[in-house]
Amino acid sequence: MTRLADARVVIVGLGLMGGSLSGALRGRCARVTGVARREETIESALSRGLIDDGTTDLVSVVDGAKIVVLATPVRTIMRQIEEIGPLLSPGCLLMDIGSTKAQIAKQMEHLPASVEPLGGHPMCGREVAGIAAAEATLYRGCTFILTPLARTSPDALALGESLVQAVGAHPLVLKPNQQDRLAATISHLPYLLACALVNTADVLTSSDPAAWEIIAGGFRDTTRIAGSDVTMMLDILLTNREEVLEALNTYRAHVRRLAQLIASGEEKDLRQALTTIRKLRREMYP
């Protein structure tokens, strides 16, 4: 099995996630090559010490790489899998770090038999995007989901786990559909709720300038993720529609129930509902 320390790793996409991954891997593998659309991005990554070398020509660098990581938006990842699959060396581990996995896994099934596929989704990030926001410490302490296919060999999975551990994260192996269902509720739904809350505040308070003088930490914290990169979130929502819609429908039912309790004025029932929710939250995060 190839050791991570001996591998040349190609990171495709040098935004926040790809640039941070490159910086975290540099010095822990034989060489880190970055691929970006713009020459200025390559220059920035080089000047910040996030990569050993870089190029805007993806096709020119994947041959001979032991590990290729696709760190682009989900629908771009699916196109790139098809584009570079035939160009990868036998035994190459092709990973991605897209936020949804089922459609990517389906695309990976069409890779040449000699290529090892492995999906990935690090549960970390920030609301800012681009190479300027990249930090080599971004992945430290986070859970890094891995979604092997049935054809992924144990050695390939072990290599992927060693990469995850090398950047300071904790690997968690899930099935692609399982990861999408969980992520829809704990990651994608909160983004939509934050967006809805921003719109609600705008409709109900924008005419009163005093509103923005009394904003408290709760509103800022709850709406923080509404500032996430729109292109990234569009890819996530449109490639995980069924799971996201199910999460939204369940959420609507709970909001409707709370609205009914408030409208009824039944303090005892409302208190019981809120107390139960408070207990659940404390059990999640003691």
Give per-residue pLDDT as tens, 229-239. Answer: 898 899 999 99
Domain 179-284 coded CATH 1.20.1300.10: no
Tell me what the mean pLDDT of segment 204-222 comes to.
Answer: 81
Tell me what the mean pLDDT of segment 83-109 comes to.
Answer: 96
Query: Residue 278 above 80 pLDDT?
Result: yes
Query: Residue 129 above 90 pLDDT?
Result: no
Among the listed ranges 30-44, 101-115, 211-225, 266-280, which one has the minimum average pLDDT value?
211-225
Rg (CA), the chain: 21
pLDDT band at 208 (very low <50, low <70, confident <90, very high): confident
Ranges of each domain in the chain: 4-174, 179-284
pLDDT band at 1 (very low <50, low <70, confident <90, very high): low
Give the model confidence (pLDDT) of 176-191 as tens digits: 999 999 999 999 999 9
Calpha distance 280→220 (Å, rounded): 23
Selection from 92, 122, 123 nearest residue 108 by Cα? 92
Q: Residue 209: how many CA atoms within 13 Å on its side-chain side?
A: 0
Any idea what the Cα angle at residue 235 is, between residues 230 and 237, rounded to 5°? 90
Calpha distance 240→246 (Å, rounded): 10
pLDDT band at 265 (very low <50, low <70, confident <90, very high): very high
CATH superfamily of 4-174: NAD(P)-binding Rossmann-like Domain (3.40.50.720)
Query: Residue 18 above 80 pLDDT?
Result: yes
Which phi and psi (to 5°) does residue 127 adopt?
A: -85, -10
Selection from 35, 37, 101, 42 nearest residue 68 by Cα? 35
Q: Say if strands 8-12 and 143-148 run parallel, antiparallel, or are unpaired.
A: unpaired
Tell me what the mean pLDDT of segment 24-37 comes to.
Answer: 96
Tell me what the mean pLDDT of segment 123-127 comes to.
Answer: 83
Among the listed ranges 38-47, 214-223, 277-286, which one has the minimum average pLDDT value?
214-223
Give the model confidence (pLDDT) of 45-75 as tens digits: 999 999 999 999 999 999 999 999 999 999 9
Task: Report yes or no: 13 and 70 within 8 Å, Cβ to Cβ.
Answer: yes
